[in-house]
Structure 1
Amino acid sequence: PPSGRRMTLTRSSGITGQDGTYLAELLVQKGYAVHGLIRRATRSSENEVFLERLFVKARKIGLKFELHQGDITDAASLARLFRKTKPSEIYNLAAQSHVTRSFQNPELTTTVNALGVVNLLAVIKASALTNVRLYQASSSEMFGNSDTASQNELTPLAPVSPYAVAKAAAHWSVINARNAYGLYAISGISFNHESPRRGRGFVSKRISRAVAAIYHGEDTKLTLADLDSTRDWGHARDYVEAMWRALQQPEPSDYVFATGNSYKIRDFVERAFYCTGKNIEWKFEGEMECGVDEIGKVLVQIDPVLSASRPLQLRSLCGDASKAQRLLGWSARCSFNVRSPQPLHPSVLMIIQDLVDEMVTADIQSFADQKKSRL
């Protein structure tokens, strides 16, 4: 097993969220002791089940898996935890991760996403941990509406939301600490990555849950803010593998993680409904576009209130992960198939699983389980 203790630093979407649970599973599988930082308010029944299973698995094979209450915005609690656990690897997944919410509360977003990372770097610098390595979760949202067709590590940052501005500040703080103080601190710029464990506030999960609800007769329509924004979607399981690989390199460096393909939100919607045997066609009702099934029933609508919730829209993202492919031997294995004339990137030709199918199938099962529990 790897020597030393390993820690996953988390907040609201950390070890209790999508990336945190997959990362913790990966680290336990590789023989790591894992310590997670968690706020009391982040715990919920939806994500605790994965952590409980992992705790049992770690205990069976003699590994430590422990959660510690704390907050990345509290430097004193970080320092105490470092003294207690002596981590050699830190994966910071802590963030206020909802873009729309960042417009509503930019102060909180900046405190957590930017100043929290400044706290973390300061504590590492002041500690006696000479060999600690830090992974900072940066975001493709930092690129904004880039002029380039695809974005890599050298693409200028042009954030269009308080969330992205704060992430950019954290990203540059990591670079500055690395250059100024010689810290092994890196950032992984992850493009959109999804899974059945995705939080309900994200558009991918909004789509998959609505489609599953409609399938079970629990709902009648999917409402969205936009259909034509494009994103580069991959699977979170692949991306946490990239995080780990990046932190094993002899020299610290930043990386982009992406599939190299981007699709419109409407493509995601079509694929999700196709999983339940429905073909969506698009038409206009007045000035608003909507999606209908074969008999003309409206299943997808644009909600003007949702559309207005972001004063600035990020229209298109597509990542270039060639550096990660070259230096880490990493490429995304899972994407989703859509009816599109766009040729697939070579890395996606090795698809081992369909992302959207997995999400929709999981949500259909979740609704079925809820129905059984009500009987």
Structure 2
Amino acid sequence: MPVRRPKDLTQALKQGTIEPVYFLFGPETYLRDQAARAIADEAMRDTLLREFNDISISLADGNAHTAVAEAEQLPMMSSRRMIRVTDFAKLDEDNEGILLEYLERPVETSVVVFVASDIDKRKKFAKTLMQGAAFEFAPLNDGELTAWARAHLKELKTEVEADVLRRIVELAGSDVRTLSNELNKLSAAALPSGKITMDLVEALVGRSRELMNWDLTDQMLARNRPRALQVLEQLLDDGAPPVMLIGLIGSTYRRLALAQTLLSQGASTRDIFRQVPMPPFKQQSYLATLSRTDGKMLARQIARIAAADLGIKTSKATPRMQVEMLVIELTAN
């Protein structure tokens, strides 16, 4: 069965269709968490003692028996139990086998929802999950983010012009959780008029997409591995797609190669920054980076970036692991 879209899940739940096992995956955590709540709401619609039947289990300790034991337990004064399972991506083969046995014979009175940002699709367990009720929560593009934001503001009874809404999406970034928080903040600040203005946006909305992207590549070029990995983790946790981040890194290093070529040809600083635009406050540090960059090393780094990009697209290791390994290698001294 092919991976389905979130709207397919919404439609099935409206029809009252409940599966015994779900797999919700992808970096868009806000919509993914909403989907898990929607499954739980429908599965336990008439349950009075929900707190005894709605369970969350982390398998970070590597013991899959915990999740299976919860799934096999009978519900308390309810027709179903709801079990959310997380942190299962690094289970060893034996523990994955335990889960595979459960997937072959799921308990009718339990709804088990496996939730992950990414997973190694080469493994049998992942392939089995993907063949079932699997729903992918990929990052939304700007058009989808804008449509979601407009619908959210309608619920908040708040008005906004199209150009102002585009600016909110531009500043908030691709993570729906961040966008939701910013919209809630703006809606409250817009009272009593109930209309969000451009001045309000510029004053209140954090520039997460612009600043964090700069910070990642700046720290990488400076070979500051701890800080680069810290920024990378925050970007990934906020929903930035690994393939987009590798594209950003690749663009940064290709621009560096172009600037280095221009410098070696005797181009003036003005000509360099005409072809490789850079904010004035960053130009001095960028020139210092150029002077200490080895051309042969840079060529190898660009080749490594291309390999990581191909690795993601051919499912070699998880996308998150690919970009983390890339940052570690590129920041080696």
Task: Give me the TM-score of the superposition, normalised by structure 2.
Answer: 0.34
Rg comparison, structure with higher value: 2
Task: Give me the TM-score of the superposition, normalised by structure 1.
Answer: 0.31
